[in-house]
Amino acid sequence: MKDKWRISFGDLVIGDIAKTYFQRVFDKNWASEGDNVKEFEEKFAAKFGCKHAIATSSGTDADIVSCAALYDYGANRGDEVIVPALSFVATANSILAAGLTPKFVDIELETLNIDPSKIEEAITDRTRAIMAVHTMGKPCEMDAIMEIAKAHDLKIIEDACEAHGATYKSKLAGTIGDMGAFSFYTAHQIVCGEGGIVATNDDKIAAVVRSVKSHGRPAGSLYFDFQRIGFNSKMNDLEAALGLEGIHYFDEHFNKRKNNLYKMLELTEDLSDYCYFIKEEPYEKVSPHAFPLVLKDEKYNRDRLYKYLESKGIQCKTLFGSLPTQHNAFKFLDYRYGDFPVSEYVGKNGLHFGMHQYLSDDDLYFISDTLHEYFRKIKK
């Protein structure tokens, strides 16, 4: 990765803390879920101010087990979970994997998050939850979403996979709703290689999630007593070793990434005629997951910009696209192109690149210079 990309999406440097926890695994000859995972859960809960943190094998599995927990609260197979039309595919896939149906709602262009004003019209008598996805680390408008959920007796699952440390009105993303899902993939703030966590302050939900992630047997039991739908979604102790180091350095890494994001926004401020950039409101703290941009006019050609940035060694990804109408995987749900105009526009005109803690000021200036070069050529 380092040989190909000057600017990669994320990076991992394994230090002495992780190596100490690796040694615990070697000494015990036990790499499955064990002492490291337990300590990781405890330290994550303490760091993020939640009562329970239940480790899973991925952020996707964190979403899956959260959705499957809804069966203990009256959901039946095929019932609906509202989810934004634009997000990483794990959100909709997790709903389907749990045996439920994604009910898509369009997003806001300014936030890239679900549009609260469009949620109620999507609610039916089979709706059981709202999945609020904090896309690109920007918190959703949780007050509005919580009000809707309360009025319709719906659970709220927060997908905070890209939003480690983000806050909404002084509350940490992932701890506001009933359940919060986190991911520890390499591009994220805390890195385990893979891995995830479900955060909750509800004792019953915690017990259900622990059961679901271990084949549906009672939490803590190894016996064959399967009480509900379940999966094998456990984290292992090697992954937890990396996560424990990530928690130790969380504030340092968060602040470095945040400074990188602010610097990048400053360097590209004069490109606001060409692009929509992420914005931080006074009542929130955006998590510096990555640097997203959406072109203000299709004539600026997202695909050409994508290829230009990658030719300069800047690793890029698109901004997901409208899952129900721009990806064949969800064609069977019978949505039509045009049903989600904002998501579809972002899908055609958006991209993002890494903003991690290992980028230097020279790297940031290089990205800025490359973007400016591209738009200068467009003007000609």
- List, in sequence order, every residue forming a beta bridge with 275; answer none if it has no partner: 295
CB-count burial class (<10 Å; 0-12, 13-18, 19+) for 64? buried
Which residues neighbour 4 within 8 Å (Cβ) at sequence distance 6 or greater?
313, 315
User: Residue 170 has which token pair?
Assistant: 């002084």
Question: What's the Cα-to-Cα distance from 89 to each of 28, 70, 107, 310, rounded to whole Å?
Answer: 37, 20, 15, 23
Distances from the Cα of 167 to the Cα of 99, 121, 160, 176, 356, angstroms: 31, 28, 11, 10, 19
Classify residue 263 by its DSSP letter. H
Q: Is the pTM of this model over 0.75?
A: yes
Percent helix, strand and coil across the chain, each rounded to 5? Answer: 45, 20, 40
- Please give the Cα distance from 61 to 91 (Å, whole number): 10
Compute and round to an integer the Cα radius of gyration of the chain: 21
pLDDT in tens, the chain (380 residues): 456 788 998 888 999 999 999 999 999 999 999 999 999 999 999 999 999 999 999 999 999 999 999 999 999 999 999 999 999 999 999 999 999 999 999 999 999 999 999 999 999 999 999 999 999 999 999 999 999 999 999 999 999 999 999 999 999 999 999 999 999 998 899 999 999 999 999 999 999 999 999 999 987 666 788 999 999 999 999 999 999 999 999 999 999 999 999 999 999 999 999 999 999 999 999 999 999 999 999 999 999 999 999 999 999 999 999 999 999 999 999 999 999 999 999 999 999 999 999 999 999 999 999 999 999 988 76
CATH architecture of 16-248: 3-Layer(aba) Sandwich (3.40)
User: How is domain 251-379 classified at the architecture level of CATH?
Assistant: Alpha-Beta Complex (3.90)
Is-contact 107 127, C-beta < 8 A?
no
* Domain definitions of the chain by residue range: 16-248, 251-379
Look at residues 36, 34, 39 and name the one whose alpha carbon lies nearest to residue 53: 39
Among 175, 123, 169, 174, CA closest to 149: 123
The CA distance from 204 to 108, in Å, is 34
Does this chain's domain 16-248 share its CATH topology with 251-379? no
